[in-house]
Amino acid sequence: MPIQRRGFIRPFPGRSSIKEIDRVFKALADPSRRELLDRLHGRNGQTLGELCRGLEMTRQAVTQHLQLLEEANLVAVRWDGRRKLHYFNPVPIHDVYERWIQKFERQRLAALKSLKSKLEGDQR
């Protein structure tokens, strides 16, 4: 069963374009959309009705948030008969990590480790 979704489908893994990453940042900027992603991460393959349960949002608002998440490629959908199932796609978040976090992380973590060692050494 192939996964169908709206928006750009990147056929090969690799570096995302700036526009793709901007869509991911925009999608992640909203706490309601992050909540939807958390719910899908906890249990993939939910319908709109299942995702709406327990949220203080209208069905229409959830639909709009899901559409933006689909456009950012963070949510993929698959039709099972008449049911539209939503799935979390972590690849764009990994792309953001590789592009914006990983390259800064090594030096900073090394500096924090060095600082920690110096501070702990002073306490002994």
Rounded Cα–Cα distance for residues 70 and 8 (Å): 9
Nearest to 83 by CA among 58, 50, 108, 110: 50
How distant is the alpha carbon of residue 83 from its chain centre? 23
Q: What pLDDT does 39 receive?
A: 97
**36 pLDDT exceeds 80?**
yes
**83 pLDDT exceeds 70?**
yes
List of residues 6+ apart from 33 with CB closer than 8 A: 27, 65, 68, 69
Q: What is the pTM of this model?
A: 0.72
Q: What is the pLDDT of residues 92-111, one digit of tens each?
A: 999 888 888 887 787 888 88
Rounded (10°) CA dihedral 31, 79, 50, 62: 30
Which helix (H) or strand (E) segment holds residue 99: the answer is none
> Domains (ranges, CATH) in the chain?
18-123 (1.10.10.10)
